[in-house]
Each structure stands twice: as C-alpha cells, then as structure tokens.
Amino acid sequence: MTAQRFLYVVVCGAGIAGDAHRLIAAAQTRGWGVGVVATPQGLGLLDTEAIVRQTGHPIRSAWRTPGEPRPLPPADAIAVAPATFNTINKWAAGIADTLALGILCEAYGLGIPTAVLPRVNAAMAAHPAYGRSLYRLREMGVLIGSHAWGGGDAEGFRWEEALELLDGRTA
C-alpha cells in the first residue's frame, strides 16, 4: 500500500482566508492528506479549531525549536491560497522571514510542485514589483492560477483551481 499524498495549504492574510476549509475539503475528496501552514496574518483569519478537526494536524505558523518533532509529514505538493501581494513579492525575492515563506523558498530546491492563487487588489497588482515577482515565480516552475481581485468577498475565487493546476504534477 502506498502512503497518502500530502498537500501543504499555505494560507496568507487575505480577507477570504477563513474559507480555506473549502480547499482542504476539495483536496481531501481527491485523496490528499492536508496540513495547513499560515502566515502570521493568515493565522488570525482562520477558525483554527475547525481546521485542526478537519485535517487532523496542527496549523503551522511558527518555526520549530531544534530537536522538536515535525508535526506534518513532508509535502508532496503545496497550494498557496489565498496568496497576498506581500507573500508573492517576498517569496520571489527569496525572503524567508516567516515559516510559510521559508517552506515556499525551500520547496523550489526540493522540487516540490507548487501552485499559487493570488488574491491581490488591482491597485497593488499594478505595482511593477508584482509583475516581476509573478514572472520570477513562473521561471521557478510555480503554477500560477487566475487572479481574483478584491478583499473579503470570496466571489470569483476558485479554491479548487490550485488542485487543478497540480493535477499531473504529482504522482
């Protein structure tokens, strides 16, 4: 029997982060085990108790201390949703100042398939650094989904698109 594929869902501090349970449920329906890694801002938007019940794993947001056991299995793939302007730009620049960004930066070197669903308002997306960051992430092999503009309104945000992007990229 083969081990279950394991997906890290990285949740950033966009207003719709509280709906991340939708991506988790869709991944579980497709046979994935799921663990959530949240940015510090994303963590505050999640119903942490509900996510822990849904995944069976603690939400990761802070670095482990040396020697502390890893609370999640290694990732076979990563879905970053919703991804903010800040996370996208820092990730592309190789800045790993949070656990979530450290995992994303490391994923490139480990060859872990990664999909990102940006959630950035149009004014921020117009900043030249944002376009350069998306270009760099594409160069790194990151699969970039549709943009869903706005803040807290989840309309138009297709959580399952992250899984569609990863289809065929994972065994």
Average pLDDT across each block of 10 residues of the chain; the chain has 171 residues. List them in order: 84 95 97 98 97 98 93 97 97 98 98 96 94 98 83 74 88 53
Please give the radius of gyration of the chain, using alpha carbons only, rounded to the nearest integer.
15
Q: For the sheet containing 33-38, what is the strand order?
A: 33-38, 6-11, 77-83, 114-118, 143-144
DSSP class of residue 75? P
User: What's the pLDDT at 1?
Assistant: 43
Domains of the chain: 6-64+72-166 (3.40.50.1950)
Reading the block at residue 41, the tokens are 């801002």
User: What's the pLDDT at 150?
Assistant: 59
Q: State the pTM of this model.
A: 0.94
User: What's the pLDDT at 55?
Assistant: 98
User: What's the pLDDT at 4?
Assistant: 87
User: What's the pLDDT at 169?
Assistant: 73
Residue 77: count of CB within 10 angstroms of its CB: 25
